[in-house]
Amino acid sequence: MRRLIVSATDAEIAPLLAALGDPDDITGRLRTFDRRGVSADVLVTGVGMVATAAWCSRALVATRYDEVIDFGVCGSFSPAYPAGAVVHVTADALPELGAEDGETFLTIHDLRLLGEDEFPFRGGLLVNAAPPPNAALAALPPVRGITVNTVHGDPESIARVVERCRPDVESMEGAAFMYACLVHGVAFAQVRAVSNLVERRNRAAWKIGDAIGALNRAALEILESS
């Protein structure tokens, strides 16, 4: 099986990289591993939607992969998914893509610049209808995400986006990753661990270490159960 692992930063998958050992090959941002029964290319894109979309598309054009898995951290809008929870984002949205009309926000679909069911969207969302068959992946709770350039940290803006989008989690890369995979027609999954509740910025409450530990344990289980 030809597999691509994607992450925004080395830090988010550092335990996984340590478990895989030294790469067999390095080509630009791609590292190739064949350890512990896991054979995969690893792509670290950098933070944000632009970098993620560009580097994922470049990798997917160069090589035909059987599956692509994105591992990263996220913020949670719901106490049902506390810090350390690992989730499978099966639907994602771009809540900032649109226009302001006074106090009203018009989505790209409201503006009729893109149909709600125009590929790769379904009902205004990027939806993963056919993730890779994997028991460890299937055991994770499916959630709805939003992907943003500016992480929410103001109570009023949080309330507005929750009312409008009903998200469970947010990241800065997820929808871009899903968009690229849908365009290239490859099986994929977006797996994230919660590092904090989405609230006014409060670094003292973040549990990034717990999130990274949980994420990488889940990553190894997913990769080894394929």
CATH number, domain containing residue 117: 3.40.50.1580
Nearest to 20, CA basis, from 142, 29, 85, 10? 10
Nearest to 154, CA basis, from 202, 99, 195? 202
- Structure confidence by residue, pLDDT tens digits, 64-85: 999 999 999 999 999 999 999 9
Strand blocks (E) in 36-85: 38-44, 67-76
Q: How far apart are CA 39 and CA 43, in angstroms?
A: 13
Residue 7 corresponds to which amino acid?
S
**Least confident residue range of 50-54, 150-154, 185-189:** 150-154
169: which 2 tokens? 């989690």
Quote the number of domains for the chain: 1
Q: What pTM did the predictor assign? A: 0.94
pLDDT above 90 (res 145): yes
Q: Supply the mean pLDDT for the chain.
A: 93
Q: What mean pLDDT comes out for the span 133-145?
A: 97
Place of tokens 């709770």: 141
Q: Give pLDDT, residue 9.
A: 96
What range defines the domain where residue 38 resides? 3-224
